[in-house]
DNA sequence: GATGAATGAGAGTTCATTCAT
DNA sequence: CATGAATGAACTCTCATTCAT
């Protein structure tokens, strides 16, 4: 309601909910398989088994569909990270951060191609308060942990850690890796190394 | 060599070379300023001060222009990394790697927006032998150093190091950082941490 | 009577009548505020507080709604002119005609924007016997008065008088005039001038 | 260049000029025959014998085409009125005004249906400085003459005269009149009547 | 009867690419 | 070789209308 990317109608009825989901499902598949260039509203509608008119009943424009996809994906990441943080409550700083990063990785590897494409697509999207908030929340999750240990610029540290993890994941996926465990281990080395210098005695 | 992305004619004559450069210059500026969506062949031609017909005399299609831009950028990175490697010849392993990563960062920060856009654009480009080779060469540069010290999978290690550096750079740029030094220092921490576990005694 | 523009059901029941009125009310408001381009059946239904399905229960298509609006407006004009004619019964020819023209003006100024938009919309409507008859009746009203005084082509004279009045009104409205009196006076000058030449001695 | 309705490229070459003219010609015909609803950019392009892409090389959007048509028509009217004013230089006030109104009528009757449709279309057009100026100039033409004789609000008088003439013309055309002379005579009666009351002794 | 999700023809517009000059 | 007018497939999006519930 408040933003240009907001969906058009809330899925109150069951049929509506299904149609909305079908649209996102179809759009996600298309985006993963064909990239941004292959994601056209007509293709999405056809793949979702609905008419183009119906598609526009649920999303005001193409960007809103991408936004919804992104939001969905982010919500999954956020939830996974929250769960990981809770599970490792009480552990050492770097252990908690690594658990979160692992969780994030696992989420991303569920649909690697889609995650990749979404990351690229985000740059072409207009600023949206909802998406911004989600982005902030993901980072805040890490900031929260870091802030318990040192004062100095936890925002930057959180950004760095998440970014290096994302970079490594993306490259690994492109190189054909599909298993999470080995990649996670390597990521941990970088994360721990990064963090060790920040801690009072490491 | 005779691929879809190869330029149409060798720049033997001086005027040809200049026109080609003007096209790339214009395309790069447009891509950096307006993103992929703003990069149209007609705009490029106008910005380059030539006709659309002439543009197609030098590049067979739009993707070839993006490919050339990418190639140019990669060549710069490669050269910078080679120079850094030579300069730090004889230093410790991690010192050499860090020097290369720093060099890469510096190159990328010369035109941060362009580098970002190119990275995104690459994913939509068809596979091209020329670009693949360059990508390999960059990685090989790091592999060469790593291989002197340990046997185990230097390719993956090189990929990881480059990827985490790229991820951090990209996030930093998006967050508005413009200075190279602080970012380089943070990157070094991650790189050293990652590598330390690989070395016999670190 | 059974034309394409005829409403679908006779408003025998009270609820029906109310719904029909609500539709016209909503359509009129929309047409006045947003013009023909803003008048969509879905908007009308929402503004009328009913579903799009119900709207089509009362009017077979969009043009029928515009037709009804036009008919309603014409009926108002016709009634006003009849009343004016009766009130000025026995007065001089030009006085009677002027009274009618004044009445018409007053009607039109009750919803100037709507009247304007309707006039434009009429041209895009298909021919409809009902509307044609009303148009004729308005003109006949004037013809009736004129015919009492001279034979020569009272139809044309009536048309001319009404048309010049409509033209002046429309231009005045567009120029921002809202008061009826001054405009009515100016209109009278033109009407009297036009008629004077037709009378035996004026 | 300054407005949204401005054409895209100046017709320097001969071929260009022809294409531009063909577009306006086709659009005018379509508008006259089918009304605003029948005027689609694809139809215009087909009727003009060009591709839709070419059409958009000359006009940035559909409204610009309508604007150009309107401008063309207005320019004709303006020229005709100027000529009439010069021809009747030195004559009495009402004679000059009537000459101008006659000229206007003649212009409008050259393509009656088009003139009608254009008048309706103008209401849907966004404000455009160029068109506004032309509109002003037409009125100014009459104001200039009126101002020589009396001070009181020549703008309103000019507007009234032009509006009543336009109203009568439009109604006459719709009624099937095609000859200018009789209509012009009737118009003169109204105009003289209107003006007579404004003159000192008339 | 009322509802509103669904439809799909068709609108306006863009842009990579060609080719006559 | 350079030019730029011309092309047209393809895109995003609208809206009058239908019909299962």
The answer to whether D141 CB sits below 7 Å from nucleic acid chain F is no
**pLDDT at C196 (0 to 100):** 87
Q: Is C1 within a domain? A: no
Q: Are B88 and B115 in the same domain?
A: yes
- Compute how many other C-beta atoms are within 10 angstroms of the C-beta atom of residue A170: 22
Instruction: Give me the A residues in range 3-32 that sit within 7 A (CB) of strand E.
Output: 9, 12-13, 15-16, 18-19
Q: Are A156 and A95 in contact (CB under 8 A)?
A: no
A135 plus A75 within the same structural domain: yes
Nucleic strand E within 7 A of Cβ C90 = no
Count Cβ atoms below 10 Å from residue B67 Cβ, excluding itself: 24
Confidence band, pLDDT 50/70/90 cuts, at residue A1: very low
Looking at residue A94, its pLDDT comes to 87
Smallest Cα–Cα separation from B169: which of B118, B121, B134? B118
Q: Which range among A62-66, C15-19, D31-35, D169-173 shows the weakest confidence by mean pLDDT? A: C15-19
Kindly report which listed range (B10-19, B38-47, C8-17) carries the lowest average pLDDT score. Answer: C8-17
Are the beta carbons of D126 and D64 closer than 8 angstroms? no
- Chain C: closest CA distance from residue D15 (Å): 35
Neighbours of A41 (CB within 10 A): 16
C-interface mutation test, from D146, D171, D175, D196, most C Cβ less than 10 A away? D171
Q: What residues in C contact D159, CB-CB < 8 Å? A: 171-172, 175
For the cut 90, the answer to whether the pLDDT of residue A4 exceeds it is no
Q: Which of A60, A80, A104 represents a domain boundary (last residue)?
A: A60
D22 with D76, same domain: the answer is: no
Chain-centroid distance, C-alpha C123: 14
Residues 6+ apart with CB under 8 A from C30: C38, C39, C43, C44, C47
Task: Please give the mean pLDDT across all residues of chain D.
Answer: 90
- pLDDT of residue D66 exceeding 50, the answer is yes
Residues C54 and C122 in one domain: no
Residue A173 has pLDDT above 90, yes or no: yes
C62 touches strand F (CB under 7 A): yes
Q: Of the candidates B196, B197, B78, which has an alpha carbon nearest to the alpha carbon of residue B144? A: B78
Q: Is the distance between the Cβ of C42 and the closest atom of strand F smaller than 7 Å?
A: yes
Give A1's DSSP letter: -
Lookup: nucleotide whose C1' is closest to C38 CA: F15
Tell me whether D175 touches chain C (CB under 8 Å): yes
Contact: B186, A167; criterion CB under 8 Å: no
Burial of residue D135, with CB atoms counted within 10 A of its CB: 0-12 exposed, 13-18 middle, 19 or more buried: middle
Q: Are A118 and A70 in contact (CB under 8 A)?
A: yes
In a domain, D1, yes or no: no
- Per cent of chain D over pLDDT 70 is 92
Q: Do D168 and C168 touch (CB under 8 A)?
A: no
At C151, the pLDDT band (50, 70, 90 cuts) reads low
Q: Please say which residue of B60, B85, B101 terminates a domain.
A: B60
| Residue C98 Cα, gap to closest chain D Cα (Å) | 13
For the ranges A101-110, B189-198, C5-14, the one whose mean pLDDT is highest: A101-110
Name the closest residue (CA) to the C1' of nucleotide E21: D15
Neighbors of chain C by Cβ distance (3+ pairs < 8 Å): D
CB of B191 less than 8 A from some CB of A: yes
pLDDT value at C152 more than 90:
no
Give the whole-angstrom CA distance, residue B192 versus residue A118.
Answer: 30
Judge whether C111 lies within some domain: yes
Q: State whether the beta carbon of A13 lies below 7 angstroms from any atom of strand F.
A: no
Nucleotide F17's nearest residue (CA vs C1') is C61
Rounded-to-integer distance, Cα A91 and Cα A153, Å: 22
Q: Are residues A25 and A75 in the same domain?
A: no
Q: Decide if C201 is inside a domain.
A: no
**pTM (two decimals):** 0.89
Cβ-contact A73, A31 below 8 angstroms: no
Whether the Cβ atoms of residue C190 and residue C168 lie closer than 8 Å to each other: yes
% chain A with pLDDT above 90: 79
Q: With a 7 Å cutoff on the CB, does A65 touch strand F?
A: no
Among chain A residues, CA nearest to B182: A156
C-alpha C15/C-alpha B102 separation (Å) is 78
Q: Name the nucleotide with the smallest C1'–CA separation from D43.
A: E11
Evaluate whether residue A202 is within a structural domain.
Answer: no
Is pLDDT of D53 > 60? Answer: yes
pLDDT at B90: 83
Closest residue in chain B to residue A160, using alpha carbons only: B168
Which residues fall within 8 angstroms of residue A157, CB to CB, at 6 or more apart?
Answer: A142, A146, A194, A195, A198
Q: Which residue's entry shows tokens 């610009």?
A: D64
Residue C185 lies in a domain: yes
Element (H, E) at B185: helix B180-196
Find the Å distance, CA of residue D53 to C1' of nucleotide F8. Answer: 7
**Would you call A170 and B167 a contact, using CB atoms and an 8 Å cutoff?**
yes
**Residue/partner pairs of C175-183 with CB below 8 Å, 24 or more apart:** C175/D159, C178/C109, C178/C112, C180/C102, C180/C105, C180/C106, C180/C109, C183/C105
**Could you give the percent of chain B with pLDDT greater than 90?**
80
Q: Spell out which residues of chain A touch residue B171, defining contact as CB-CB under 8 Å.
A: 159-160, 162-163, 166
With bands split at pLDDT 50, 70 and 90, how would you rate the model's confidence at B2?
very low
pLDDT of res. B148? 83
Q: How far apart are CA C72 and CA C64, in angstroms?
A: 12
C1'-nearest nucleotide to the CA of A52: E8
Residue C202: which pLDDT band, with cuts at 50, 70 and 90?
very low
CA torsion through residues C137, C138, C141, C147, sign: negative
Distance from the first to the final alpha carbon of chain D: 48
Average pLDDT, chain B: 90
- Render pLDDT for C109-144 as a digit per residue (tens, 0 to 9): 999 999 999 999 999 999 999 999 999 999 999 999
Q: What is the CATH number of the domain that holds A40?
A: 1.10.10.60
CATH of the domain at D128: 1.10.357.10
Residue D31 has a pLDDT of 96
How many Å does it take to go from CA D12 to C1' E20? 17
Report pLDDT for A202.
42
**Nearest alpha-carbon partner for A134 in A78, A67, A65, A62:** A78
CB contact under 8 A, B124 and A191: no
Q: What is the pLDDT, as a whole number, of residue D1?
A: 41
Q: Dihedral sign, CA of B72, B76, B77, B78?
A: positive
- pLDDT band with cut points at 50, 70 and 90 for residue D177: very high
Q: Please tell me whether residues A72 and A96 are part of one structural domain.
A: yes
Q: Least CB-CB distance to A167: which of B124, B167, B191?
A: B167
Tell whether D202 is covered by a domain. Answer: no
- The pLDDT of residue C150 is above 80: no
For the record, the structure tokens of C17 come out as 């009548």
A167 and B163: CB-CB below 8 Å? yes
Asked if pLDDT for residue D19 goes beyond 70, the answer is yes
Across C28-99, where does the E strand assignment appear?
none
Which of the residues C162, C164, C192 would you substitute to probe the D interface, choosing the one with the greatest number of D C-beta atoms within 10 Å?
C164
| B37 Cβ contacts chain E strand, under 7 Å | yes
How far, in whole angstroms, is CA C151 from its chain's centroid? 27
Q: Is residue B176 part of a domain?
A: yes
Place of tokens 């059901």: C9
**Higher-scoring residue by pLDDT: B99, B149:** B99
- CB pairs under 8 A, 24+ apart, for B46-55? B48/B19, B48/B22, B48/B23, B49/B22, B50/B19, B50/B22, B50/B23, B54/B19, B55/B23
Return the sign of the alpha-carbon dihedral for residues D187, D190, D194, D196: positive
B1 has a pLDDT exceeding 60: no
Higher pLDDT, A18 or B140: B140
* pLDDT, tens only, B107-129: 999 999 999 999 999 999 999 99
Give the pLDDT band (50/70/90) at residue C2.
very low
CB atoms within 10 A of CB C141: 21
C89 pLDDT tier (thresholds 50, 70, 90):
confident
Q: Number of C to D CB contacts under 8 A, please give it.
A: 91
- Asked whether residue D52, judged by its CB, lies under 7 Å from any atom of the DNA or RNA strand F, the reply is yes
Cβ contact C171–D156 (<8 Å): no
Q: How many domains does chain D have?
A: 2
Q: Are residues C89 and C179 in the same domain?
A: yes
Reported as a pLDDT band with limits 50, 70 and 90, residue A175 is very high
Neighbours of B19 (CB within 10 A): 19
Kindly state whether D152 is in contact with chain C, defined as any CB-CB distance less than 8 angstroms: no
Rounded to whole angstroms, the Cα distance separating A111 from A70 reads 12
CA B51 from chain centre, in angstroms, equals 29
Angle at C36 between CA C34 and CA C37, to 5 degrees: 75
Let me know whether C109 and C182 are in one domain. yes
Burial class (CB in 10 A: 0-12, 13-18, 19+), C24: buried
**Distance between CA atoms of C87 and D60, rounded to whole angstroms?**
56
Q: A-chain residues within 8 Å CB-CB of B175?
A: 159
CB of D186 closer than 8 Å to CB of D162: no
A128 and A39 within one domain: no
Q: In whole angstroms, give the CA distance from residue D61 to residue D54.
A: 12
pLDDT at A151 over 80: no
Structural domain span for residue D46: 7-60
Q: Do A153 and A105 belong to one domain?
A: yes
Claim to verify: residue B49 and residue B135 sit in the same structural domain:
no
Of D74 and B198, the structure prediction assigns the larger pLDDT to: D74
Length D35 CA → F14 C1' (Å): 20
Average pLDDT of the segment spanning D131-135: 95
pLDDT for position B10? 54
User: Mean pLDDT score of chain A, rounded to an integer?
Assistant: 90
Residue B196 pLDDT grade (very low, low, confident, very high; cuts 50, 70, 90): confident
Q: Within this chain, do residues B109 and B188 fall inside the same structural domain, yes or no? A: yes
Which one of D35, D165, D196 has the shortest CB-CB distance to C193?
D196
- Mark which of B41, B60, B79 sits at the end of a domain: B60
A155 token code pair: 């925002």
């Amino acid at each position: 309601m408040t933003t240009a990317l907001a969906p058009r109608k809330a899925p109150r009825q069951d049929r509506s909910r299904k149609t909305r989901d079908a649209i996102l499902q179809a759009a996600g598949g298309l985006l993963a398989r064909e990239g941004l260039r292959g994601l056209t509203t007509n293709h999405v509608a056809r793949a979702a088994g609905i008419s183009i008119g119906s598609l526009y009943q649920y999303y005001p424009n193409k960007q809103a569909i991408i936004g919804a996809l992104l939001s969905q994906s982010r919500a999954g990441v956020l939830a996974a990270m929250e769960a990981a943080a809770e599970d490792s409550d009480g552990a050492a700083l770097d252990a908690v951060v690594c658990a979160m990063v692992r969780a994030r990785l696992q989420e991303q590897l569920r649909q690697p191609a889609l995650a990749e494409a979404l990351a690229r697509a985000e740059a072409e999207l207009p600023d949206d308060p909802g998406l911004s908030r989600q982005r902030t929340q993901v980072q805040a999750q890490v900031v929260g942990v870091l802030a318990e240990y040192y004062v100095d610029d936890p925002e930057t540290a959180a950004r760095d850690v998440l970014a290096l993890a994302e970079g490594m994941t993306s490259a690994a996926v492109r190189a054909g890796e599909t298993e999470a465990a080995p990649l996670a281990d390597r990521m941990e080395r970088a994360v721990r190394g990064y963090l060790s210098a920040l801690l009072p005695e490491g």
